[in-house]
Amino acid sequence: MSKAGFSHVWIGRVTAGARASVLAMSMVAAEVVIPASEPEAAAQPATAQLGDDLSVVFANSADIAEGKGLAESACVSCHGANGVSTAPGVPHLAGQRSPYLHLVLKAYQSGARPGSTMKSAVAFLNNDALIKLAAYYASLDPAPRATGNVTVSDPVEDGQAAAAACAGCHGDTGISKTAGFPNLIGLDPQYLVAAIKAYKSGQRKNDLMQSMVASVNESVMDKIALFYGLQKPGRAQTPAPGDRSGGQAAATPCAGCHGDDGVSGTSATPSLAGQDAAYLVAALAAYKQGARRDETMKGMVAPLDNATIKNLAAYYAAQEPRPPTVRKPLVAQEWAQRCDRCHGVNGNSTDPRFPALAGQRSDYIEQAVHDYQKGVRKSAEMSAMSQVLSEDDVKNLASYYSRQTPRAVILIAVPSR
Ligand code: HEC
Ligand code: HEC
Ligand code: HEC
Ligand code: HEC
């Protein structure tokens, strides 16, 4: 074992009956190097739980040599020489944590982790052979990290870029300057997305808007709605003729759904505060005539005359819009901090049960996360973590972790006190 390959140390407490001797341990300990330049290295001190299978920690150099022989006959064709894969979908194994590798090999064998390729690759190996293979691959220098910049997309920036096409009519940040064109700020993103879909499908009839959103796919709609949802709201900069106080009186029956001052509390009902008055008039007229179909609103506007509609529009246009409740999604770095709690600083796990992610192939990371999302690959921790990730998050994180510098660890058995 060369010193250079190891930079982290994990110390596992092992129960009485362990076959490590103090002498052997001090010999292993002499090999360990923890560079002072990396104080975070100690940030994830792990103590294996009693009952964890840590037999692989006791593998010696003869075991590793035997593991190498096995690997060369049964695994190199896919996992590459020295555990560095060159095949898409096939993970690097070099420098991976040995207890994790052992656990996974047993899981393939029992079928707990699906994968017919791997199941047949390990079908005829006994536990001793699995231990030796795990110890061998863990002892290797990790694959070099992926090069190039981390390709990270930010949904808010993407939304802003896509919304540039809307700015001419709806204003740069969704505050309209032209009568007849609605504000897009102060609206719940879910409402905005529903409205865009309604134009797209023709359920809401407007030829202009239908052509504007024809090429906007679902992912882009979400980002546009997110962008507008995060902008500081303001009243439309358009005229609002009509009698506000008359409008306020007429607005009493509307408050239950649209809020006391036009700020709706639910995504199903649009906010009206600060909206362009001409658009409000047109929308109410459209409900009345049935050009815009909505049974609730049709019933609400049926008794209203044109003067009252104009007054209602003037009243709502004068109200102060408020930002909808929108959580800014986490960027890759913020996600990574959450992943690092289990996978170690920059994906260099120092807990033997958790795989290192640093330097792993990005295509494999993406595939693994998809498998957890679909439930194909089962893990209590990962199914919870993966459900909340968008497709962009998965790509960003895979790109991020594949570019982190991987570091091997050496595991030392320490007898229980
Ligand atoms: C025919 C190609 C092939 C052969 C041969 C093969 N593997 Fe694999 N291995 C794969 C693929 C593909 C995956 C990813 C499967 C998945 O997503 O679960 C994988 C996954 C693994 C994993 C999981 C790694 C992780 O990070 O979770 C381990 C460990 C592993 N292989 C070890 C071995 C060992 C040891 C051998 C030799 C006994 C071997 N493999 C032989 C193709 C192969
Ligand atoms: C050429 C001018 C124009 C452009 C460009 C334009 N819109 Fe519109 N938009 C309108 C008009 C006019 C309406 C009102 C249509 C109606 O009465 O239903 C509207 C309505 C909307 C509404 C409904 C708002 C509400 O309160 O229900 C949404 C959402 C919307 N547009 C989104 C967009 C998005 C997203 C883009 C860019 C991809 C865009 N628009 C580009 C003119 C435009
Ligand atoms: C029972 C609940 C309810 C009540 C009461 C109600 N609305 Fe609505 N309103 C809605 C819903 C839901 C929509 C969205 C319908 C759609 O998708 O077209 C809507 C849409 C609107 C719109 C279109 C906004 C936009 O951005 O396109 C206007 C304007 C409006 N309502 C005004 C009023 C006025 C004025 C009153 C009172 C006279 C009123 N509403 C009463 C539920 C209600
Ligand atoms: C609560 C602990 C925990 C957190 C937080 C966590 N993971 Fe995991 N992760 C695990 C465990 C445990 C496994 C091994 C599960 C198994 O056996 O399949 C794993 C496995 C993985 C794998 C498969 C690695 C391989 O070599 O096959 C990937 C990829 C992964 N996690 C990515 C992530 C990402 C990305 C995040 C953050 C969004 C994350 N994890 C957060 C515990 C966690």
What confidence score (pLDDT) does residue 414 get? Answer: 67
Domain range for 274: 155-317
Residues 183 and 222 in one domain: yes
How far, in Å, is the centroid of ligand 1 from the Cα of 79?
7
Residues 70 and 45 in one domain: yes
Residues 288 and 397 in one domain: no
DSSP-assigned states of every residue in 153-176 = --HHHHHHHHHTTTHHHH-TTS--
Residue 182 near ligand 2, beta carbon < 6 Å: yes
Residues 64 and 160 in one domain: no
How far, in Å, is the centroid of ligand 2 from the Cα of 209?
5
What confidence score (pLDDT) does residue 198 get? Answer: 96
User: Looking at 317, 348, 377, which one is the last position of a domain?
Assistant: 317
Residue 273 near ligand 3, beta carbon < 6 Å: no
Q: Where are the alpha helices (DSSP H) in 230-317?
A: 244-250, 255-258, 277-289, 295-301, 306-317
How far, in Å, is the centroid of ligand 3 from the Cα of 271?
9
Residues 354 and 396 in one domain: yes
Residue 375 lies in a domain: yes
Residue 395 near ligand 4, beta carbon < 6 Å: no
Residue 90 near ligand 1, beta carbon < 6 Å: yes
The strand pairing partners of 414, in sequence order, are 13
Residues 106 and 34 in one domain: yes
Residue 301 lies in a domain: yes
**Structural domains of the chain, count:** 2
Residues 175 and 97 in one domain: no
How far, in Å, is the centroid of ligand 4 from the Cα of 342?
7
Q: Which of 160, 178, 199, 212 to mutate to test the pocket of ligand 2 (most atoms within 8 A of CB)?
A: 212
Residues 138 and 163 in one domain: no
Residue 326 lies in a domain: no
Residues 6+ apart with CB under 8 A from 1: 31, 61, 139, 410
Residue 282 near ligand 2, beta carbon < 6 Å: yes
Residue 348 lies in a domain: yes
Lookup: tokens for 105? 């090999």
Which residue puts its alpha carbon closest to atom 32 of ligand 1? Answer: 105
What confidence score (pLDDT) does residue 213 get? Answer: 96
Residue 236 lies in a domain: yes
Residue 339 near ligand 4, beta carbon < 6 Å: yes
User: Looking at 265, 285, 317, which one is the last position of a domain?
Assistant: 317
- Nearest ligand to the CA of 354 is 4
- Judge contact between 304 and 288, C-beta under 8 A: yes
- pTM: predicted TM-score of the whole model, two decimal places: 0.75
Which residue puts its alpha carbon closest to atom 15 of ligand 4? Answer: 379
Q: Which of 192, 200, 254 to mutate to test the pocket of ligand 3 (most atoms within 8 A of CB)?
A: 254
Residues 145 and 163 in one domain: no
d(CA 118, CA 78): 10
Q: Determine which helix (DSSP H) or strand (DSSP E) holds 137, and give its type and residue range.
A: helix 127-139
Q: What angle do CA 39, 42, 46 make, to 5 degrees?
A: 170
Residues 235 and 103 in one domain: no
Residues 6+ apart with CB under 8 A from 106: 112, 127, 130
Q: Which of 63, 116, 118 to mutate to test the pocket of ligand 1 (most atoms within 8 A of CB)?
A: 118
The label of the residue with tokens 């052997």 reads: 24
Residue 392 lies in a domain: yes
CATH number assigned to the domain comprising residue 286: 1.10.760.10
- pLDDT by residue, tens only, the chain of 417 residues: 333 333 344 444 433 333 332 222 322 322 223 333 333 333 344 444 434 577 888 899 999 999 999 999 999 999 999 999 999 999 999 999 999 999 999 999 999 999 999 999 999 999 999 999 999 999 999 999 998 877 778 889 999 999 999 999 999 999 999 999 999 999 999 999 999 999 999 999 999 999 999 999 999 999 999 999 999 999 999 999 999 999 999 999 999 999 999 999 999 999 999 999 999 999 999 999 998 999 999 999 999 999 999 999 999 999 999 999 998 888 888 999 999 999 999 999 988 889 999 999 999 999 999 999 999 999 999 999 999 998 889 999 999 999 999 998 877 766 655
Residue 325 lies in a domain: no
d(CA 68, CA 207): 68
Residues 88 and 176 in one domain: no
Residues 172 and 290 in one domain: yes
How far, in Å, is the centroid of ligand 3 from the Cα of 290?
14
Residue 324 lies in a domain: no
How far, in Å, is the centroid of ligand 1 from the Cα of 281?
64
User: Looking at 317, 344, 359, which one is the last position of a domain?
Assistant: 317
Residue 236 near ligand 3, beta carbon < 6 Å: no
